[in-house]
Amino acid sequence: MDQTPAGRHLVYQTSLMSALLDGIYDGDTTVATLLEHGDFGLGTFNALDGEMLILDGVCYRMRADGTVTPAAADDLTPFAVVTEFVPSVSIRVDEPITRDEAVALINETMQSSNYLYAVRLTGEFDWVRVRAVERQEKPYRPMNEAIRGEKTIEFGRSAGVVAGFRTPLYGQGIGVPGGHVHYIDAAHRHGGHVLDFALLSGTIDICIGTDLHLELPLTAEFKNAELSPDDLAAQVDQAENRR
Q: Which residues contribute to the site for Zn ion (CB under 5 A)?
A: 193
3 vs 25, beta carbon nearer Zn ion: 25
The minimum distance between CB 222 and Zn ion, in angstroms, equals 19
Q: Which residues contact 241 (CB under 8 A, 6 or more apart)?
A: 176, 178
97 vs 195, beta carbon nearer Zn ion: 195
Distances from the Cα of 45 to the Cα of 20, 202, 229, angstroms: 11, 29, 23
The minimum distance between CB 44 and Zn ion, in angstroms, equals 7
The minimum distance between CB 180 and Zn ion, in angstroms, equals 6
129 vs 193, beta carbon nearer Zn ion: 193
The minimum distance between CB 236 and Zn ion, in angstroms, equals 11
The DSSP 8-state label assigned to residue 226 in this structure reads -
Question: Residue 165's closest CA among 198, 196, 120?
Answer: 120
166 vs 193, beta carbon nearer Zn ion: 193
Q: Which residue is nearest to Zn ion (CB)?
A: 193
Question: What DSSP letter does each residue of 101-134 carry, written as one string?
Answer: HHHHHHHHH-S-TTSEEEEEEEEEEEEEEEE-PP
120 vs 193, beta carbon nearer Zn ion: 193
For 94, counting Cβ atoms within 10 Å of its Cβ (0-12 exposed, 13-18 middle, 19+ buried), the class is exposed
The minimum distance between CB 197 and Zn ion, in angstroms, equals 14
